[in-house]
Amino acid sequence: MRVVRSVHGFTVIELMVVVALMGVLMSLLFPAVQGALDSARKAQAKNDVAQIASAIVAFDTEYGRFPSTNGVPQELTGDVLNALVASNDTLNPRKIVFLEVLDYRRGKGGILGGKFVDPWQKSYYVAIDSDYDNRVNVSTNGQVSGDSSIIRKVGVWNNNTNSRQQVRSWD
């Protein structure tokens, strides 16, 4: 007499092979996702520095002066930031919003602790041409101090020593 067996499901070995394959595929996917997130953060930071530079130039166009007369590189905080976001009545008496900045959100940047930071929580720095000679000292290595001179009214960069996360308004 013949015994007929019917197969109704997967064996444990088959299920383990499928789970192992899914694990391998997921491990290949994680670096790609991380790379896409880093690219998105860099694009956000690049947009931020362009917006900051445009806001400072627009402030100069509107009021005939820059929000700061300090020609050395400085962190984007305090009076300069408050003038651009219309929180400083003295520097911006018409309360014109030159720069819209939200509170910090992870991976997006924003205002954190009273300063404008990039998606990696590093500060943005500005150098303003306070003597109107169209030259500003800026940082080309992600540091705070200006180590190079460019022909611009405003230079904006983030304070990041990781070269893959550095953004500059003049690039």
Query: Could you write out the DSSP letters of every residue in 9-50?
Result: S--HHHHHHHHHHHHHHHHHHHHHHHHHHHHHHHHHHHHHHH
Which pLDDT band, with edges at 50, 70 and 90, does 171 fall under? confident
Residue 22 CB partners (closer than 8 Å, separation 6+): none
Which residues share a beta bridge with 77? 115
Write out pLDDT tens, residues 119-153.
Answer: 999 999 999 988 888 888 887 766 666 678 888 99
SS3 label, residue 77? strand
Strands (E), 34-152: 74-75, 110-112, 115-117, 124-128, 136-138, 148-150
Could you tell me the two tokens for 59?
Answer: 């402030």
Confidence (pTM): 0.80
Which pLDDT band, with edges at 50, 70 and 90, does 4 fall under? low
Write out pLDDT tens, residues 94-120.
Answer: 999 999 999 988 888 899 998 999 999
Write out pLDDT tens, residues 31-84.
Answer: 888 888 888 999 999 999 999 999 999 999 999 999 987 778 888 888 999 999
